[in-house]
Structure 1
Amino acid sequence: MRPDDLPALHHTEHGPADGTPVLAIHGWTPDHRLMTGCCEPVFAARPRPYRRLYPDLPGMGRSSGAGVASSDDVLSCVEAYVDEQLGDSPFLLVGESYGGYLARALTARRAGQVRGLALICPVGRAVEQADRTVPRHQVLVKEIEVEPGSEFAEIAVVQTADTFERTEREVVVGVELADAEALARIRRRWVLKDDPEGGPAYEGPTLIVTGRQDSSTGYVDSWALLEHYPRATFAVLDTAGHNAQIERPELFGSLMNDWLDRVDHVGASSSA
């Protein structure tokens, strides 16, 4: 049940209602379009039907941030969304950046319900920016001129017309909708009360994708998560920053498909 003082989440949905459920949680300040942009090309091409759920987190996209004042409140909204949309049905879980932090926490609470977990450039063991081990920002592919000081200029490792257009379409458009006051409240109580890795290890098929040149969350602090996820594939993508799915789309798609194949294999084995 959602606490009465917390808002419901706006969401979009793709695929058949009876497909395998997938919940995809975006990162800090964008909206669901970040996740539809990276996930839809993968899931739409799979032979198995999937029901893909893409919510906007509180204070982001079209979801209200009223009454939300911490990451724990955000997580409560996500849990209520799962209860409303999925009940106790098993589902696959994908989280990007801050959404990866929330996805790990949700998995800790519902390990028996989460059939597989994929983390894309997640916030790792060091939650606060000042505590993270990250490389300096550098541009490795530059084919276009970009506005100095823009978000794209500050984080993009691959600066091409295609990566710029995808970033505008999938990331920037959501950032422009964010409720700054709500985000400021949440940011003051940013760290979750319970450590996502504070309990038993998660035994389901897991994927952790990081960017070798990611100057936002890096890869070192995500490597520190590995022992908690014994069925994890851990990938560090060269020529990739915090939007690794945009800068290395083919490799990202291959890794996601491998993860989904592993999830399917576990499902087939358990039903045999």
Structure 2
Amino acid sequence: MRIQAGRVSVHYVEHGTGRPALILHGARVDHHEVEACFEPILEDVAGLRRIYPDLPGMGRTIAPETMRCADDVLDTLLRFADEMFGETAYLLVGHSAGAYYARAMAAKRPARVLGLALVCPLLTALRDIPEHRVVAGSGEIGDDIFRGYFVIQTPEMLERYERHIAPAAALVDETAFERIGRQWALAVDREPAYPGPTVIVAGRLDSTVGYAAATDLLDHYPHASLAVLDAAGHALPHEQPELLRALLTEWLARIERG
């Protein structure tokens, strides 16, 4: 499905009906990765409409030449939410770069976001990023991207990578990706703190964004829970699905109470 968000025709898929939830994927993939990771958790939640868009320049959402920085992507995502949900408030979930944009969306329109979930969030001030280390498997299967992404390198994880992640590589608009990446910093850390129910989940072995900077976010979100998971890297949603399910279930319960 598609919807026009300003100058961008955004491709998305959706499941279910009811209260909306917007789930944003990371860089160099498309909606298939977060759909594969979060749908098994969220499909069991009654009355939840799950929306998975392709971010501009990835998947089947084309980034026009006028899109030149992260603020342009953010504007597109805000317009997308306006077109999809109108004045209805929604849940917001992001993985990696998707979490980066989710933070900015919640900062811009806190009253429209019922709850914020940040998984392995990309941040502007990363620190103490650990070296990549394999904790399960031989470390000799899959391609270089798989071996640098997953810390659990079993045949099951390789199947998930080859099915839900690798096909998106051919769909990345490298020219747009480089153009936007030259001005990728957002002003989210200078925005007022998002006051709603928040959960932050990081992988202790995440060699892409680390976990240390994610712990700093507790000072920015007054109602945040934080979990740093061992035996998990940047592919945490694949590697620790049951722990992620438990954390998101508790977050959803806080939203209901809120």
Q: In which range does the TM-score fall when normalised by the shorter chain? A: over 0.9
TM-score (norm 1): 0.89
Structure 2, unmatched stretches of 5+, are none
1:256 aligned onto 2:248: yes
Deviation for aligned residue 1:132: 3.6
Q: Distance in 2 between matches of 1:248 and 1:147?
A: 20
Q: Distance in 1 between matches of 2:90 and 2:8?
A: 23
* Runs of 4+ that moved beyond 3 A: none
1:227 aligned onto 2:219: yes
Between the aligned residues of both structures, percent identity stands at 43
User: In structure 2, the residue corresponding to 1:29 is in which secondary structure?
Assistant: coil
Structure 2 residue aligned with 1:31 = 30
Deviation for aligned residue 1:175: 2.5
| From 94, 118, 136, the counterpart of 1:141 | 136
**8 Å contact from structure 2 (residues 193, 221) kept in 1:** yes
Superposed counterparts of 1:1-272, under 5 Å:
2-3=5-6, 6-16=7-17, 19-46=18-45, 48-67=46-65, 68-126=67-125, 132-142=127-137, 145-147=140-142, 150-192=144-186, 195-266=187-258
Matching residue's letter, 1:98: A
Q: Distance in 2 between matches of 1:188 and 1:109?
A: 22
Deviation for aligned residue 1:2: 4.5
User: In structure 1, the residue corresponding to 2:115 is in which secondary structure?
Assistant: strand
Spell out, residue by residue over 1:191-226, the C-alpha distance to the aligned partner (whole angstroms, 9 max, x if none).
Answer: 12xx21323222211110100000001111111111
Q: Distance in 2 between matches of 1:152 and 1:92?
A: 30
**What's the Cα RMSD here?**
1.5
Spell out, residue by residue over 1:120-149, the C-alpha distance to the aligned partner (whole angstroms, 9 max, x if none).
Answer: 1001241xxxx543100000111573146x
Structure 1, unmatched stretches of 5+, are 267-272
Q: Distance in 2 between matches of 1:246 and 1:124?
A: 21
Matching residue's letter, 1:10: H
